[in-house]
Amino acid sequence: MVVKILILVVFFTVMILVGVNAKKKVTGVNDFVLGGRKIGPWMAAFSFGTSYFSAVVFIGYAGQFGWKYGIASTWIGIGNALIGSMLAWVILGRRTRVMTNHLSSSTMPDFFGKRYGSKALKIAASAIAFVFLIPYTASVYNGLSKLFGLAFDIPYEAVVIGMAVLTGVYVILGGYMASSMNDFIQGMIMLVGMVAVIASVITKQGGFTEALVKLSNVQGPETADQPGVFASFFGPDPAGLLSVVILTSLGTWGLPQMVQKFYAIKSEKSIKTGTIVSTFFAIIIGGGSYFMGGFGRLFGGEGASFINAETGAVAYDGIVPAMLQNSLSDILIGVVVVLVLSASMSTLSALVLTSSSTLTLDLLKDNVIKNMDQKKQMFVMRIMIVFFVVVSVIIALDPPTAIAQLMGISWGALAGAFLAPFLYGLYWKKVTRPAVWASFIASIVITVGNLFVKVTASPIVAGAAAMIIGLIIVPIVSVITKNPQADKNRIENIFECYNVNVTVKKSSQISAE
């Protein structure tokens, strides 16, 4: 216990010191929100990766989908790496950096406002982002508390409040730069911790081959017609597995806190290196989490803490903690706590900064508070950070029962609303304002409406559907409505940012072609 507490004290001290150091580099709003658009490749990649994977993935998703799909859940992590990370960097990275810099845009709602020439779209996007980032934050707190309860027997309320205060302090001090520097440190911890956890869990089951044999012999309703299905290539429900891959992979393309990472990229080299590093990080953390979760049923024997003895109901959020408790030494459990704390705090800091900057710059500035100079904007953003943390803590203290469901609603609504208008807006001049409104409305109707009508029992399926539908209706509505002539000149000027000639060194490119 002394060693585990010491590890936490050192971790917390480093986080605060990084915030204090980063504060010296914050001279204005651009520095606070985007790090002055000077974030290097490794910090950018780790910032993207650590914001992607939090306690929600490690505790909630790995446990739930590992139980449902067996070893096939590893496909979710592979999809996260190839679609959610690699393709996101390749398709969105450079164009996002170029166009947002050209538009002097600091947030996703601001991008919508300037790209589509609509203040109303900017305000609507800001409201959607603020409302749906809160439940995502609550899910992060909830996941972390499971591990703290296992390692330290600390009350859930204390964990939530402590994490909120610590994250709020270093984000308030150093903004985006503090978050990025801490993300790099936290990312290194996550990589080392994940390798140790996977090795311990597999070793506990007698090695990979033996664990796979045991998994193929697991009995359940799903194995009646498909013996050994939990050790199979695609698991018992390929369609359900695909919906999870879509939500958790394609969803990053439309999440404000993820896309904003591309706004801050320093150079072309940062994009190339960042793509490789981010993909590798996702394979280890995302792939490792789901791979480990795939063996969850091997820990679900008689007397398992996460199975209700009377009803047989499975508490998915308790699966991974039970696996760790049965596989790891006390010291390794302490390391895992820091691993999950790192993942959660990096995600929380991204959510807090994104929400506060969006609320301040896109909703309050010029609409509610007039004549906001740089100093006043910084002050209001810091106040909004406190406000956002307090609201999310209140919700987290009385959360829904399952982490995955909470995150599914948030991801589905945000990515469903923003993905298509943002992606098409970077590449296609003919996207219209009505098409953007159609995407916003369709996403909210599908994800929120499903809570009441229950077209599908899973908000994850609803979220995946919202994203796919958005990608379909935006081009259809754009073709039907068309942009007015007055808008065409403005749009042509915006897309000229991609045609600006730049000079590069021979070391970067051999010829001008």
pLDDT score of 350 more than 50: yes
pLDDT band at 511 (very low <50, low <70, confident <90, very high): very low
pLDDT (tens digit, 9 = 90+) per residue, 385-399? 888 888 777 777 765
Alpha helices in 153-296 (DSSP H): 156-204, 208-216, 238-245, 256-263, 268-282, 288-293
The predicted model scores a pTM of 0.85
Question: How far is Cα 236 from Cα 228, in angstroms, rounded to an integer?
Answer: 9
Question: How far is Cα 390 from Cα 386, in angstroms, rounded to an integer?
Answer: 6
- Enumerate domains of the chain plus CATH numbers: 2-499 (1.20.1730.10)
The 8-class DSSP code of residue 36 comes to G
Strands (E) across 164-258 are located at none
Q: Is the dihedral of CA 211, 212, 217, 220 positive or negative?
A: positive
CB 325 within 8 A of CB 150: yes
Question: How far is Cα 364 from Cα 359, in angstroms, rounded to an integer?
Answer: 6
3-state SS class at 219? coil
Mean pLDDT of 94-110: 89
Q: What letter represents residue 16's amino acid? A: I
pLDDT score of 406 more than 70: no
* Least trusted range by pLDDT, from 48-57, 113-122, 251-260: 48-57
pLDDT band at 147 (very low <50, low <70, confident <90, very high): low
Question: How far is Cα 3 from Cα 410, in angstroms, rounded to an integer?
Answer: 37
How far the first Cα of the chain sits from its last, in Å, is 62
Output 124 or 181, whichever has higher pLDDT: 124
Question: How far is Cα 329 from Cα 336, in angstroms, rounded to an integer?
Answer: 10
Crossing angle of the two packed helices 319-327 and 62-69, in degrees rounded to 10:
90
CB atoms within 10 A of CB 423: 22
Q: Tokens 């409040």 map to which residue?
A: 161
> Which value, to the nearest 10 degrees, does the dihedral of the CA atoms of residues 192, 198, 203, 208 take?
-130
pLDDT band at 437 (very low <50, low <70, confident <90, very high): very high
> Could you give the angle at the alpha carbon of 275 between the alpha carbons of 271 and 276, nearest 5°?
125
CA-nearest of 403, 359, 405, 398 to 382 is 359
Q: Which helix (H) or strand (E) holds 98?
A: helix 94-102
CB 322 within 8 A of CB 304: yes
Alpha helices in 397-428 (DSSP H): 403-427
pLDDT (tens digit, 9 = 90+) per residue, 170-204? 888 878 788 888 888 878 888 888 888 888 888 88
pLDDT score of 510 more than 60: no
Mean pLDDT of 410-431: 91
Using a 10 angstrom Cβ sphere, with 0-12 exposed, 13-18 middle and 19 or more buried, the burial of residue 88 is buried
Question: How far is Cα 112 from Cα 491, in angstroms, rounded to an integer?
Answer: 13
Both tokens assigned to 32: 């606070």
pLDDT (tens digit, 9 = 90+) per residue, 297-311? 888 776 677 787 777
Cα–Cα distances in angstroms (integers) from residue 381 to residues 126, 171, 395, in the given order = 14, 11, 21
What's the confidence (pLDDT) of residue 513? 41
Output 461 or 81, whichever has higher pLDDT: 81
Question: How far is Cα 111 from Cα 109, in angstroms, rounded to an integer?
Answer: 5
Using a 10 angstrom Cβ sphere, with 0-12 exposed, 13-18 middle and 19 or more buried, the burial of residue 474 is buried
Q: Is the dihedral of CA 64, 67, 71, 75 positive or negative?
A: negative
Backbone φ and ψ for 358, nearest 5 degrees, come out as: -65, -45
CA-nearest of 251, 257, 210 to 447 is 251
pLDDT score of 424 more than 90: yes
CA-nearest of 441, 370, 449 to 124 is 441
The 8-class DSSP code of residue 311 comes to T
Q: Report the chain's mean pLDDT, rounded to a whole number.
A: 82
Question: How far is Cα 490 from Cα 232, in angstroms, rounded to an integer?
Answer: 54
Q: What letter represents residue 288's amino acid? A: G
CA-nearest of 243, 244, 226 to 235 is 226
Output 173 or 426, whichever has higher pLDDT: 426
> Could you give the angle at the alpha carbon of 31 between the alpha carbons of 30 and 37, nearest 5°?
75
What's the confidence (pLDDT) of residue 458? 72
pLDDT score of 47 more than 90: no
Question: How far is Cα 90 from Cα 112, in angstroms, rounded to an integer?
Answer: 21
CA-nearest of 244, 248, 262, 242 to 423 is 262
Share of the chain above pLDDT 90, in %: 19
pLDDT (tens digit, 9 = 90+) per residue, 214-252? 988 888 777 767 788 888 888 888 988 888 888 788 888
CA-nearest of 314, 218, 224, 281 to 50 is 281
What's the confidence (pLDDT) of residue 507? 56
pLDDT score of 362 more than 70: yes
Question: How far is Cα 311 from Cα 361, in angstroms, rounded to an integer?
Answer: 50
Q: Is the dihedral of CA 308, 313, 317, 318 positive or negative?
A: positive
Question: How far is Cα 20 from Cα 506, in angstroms, rounded to an integer?
Answer: 40
What's the confidence (pLDDT) of residue 111? 92
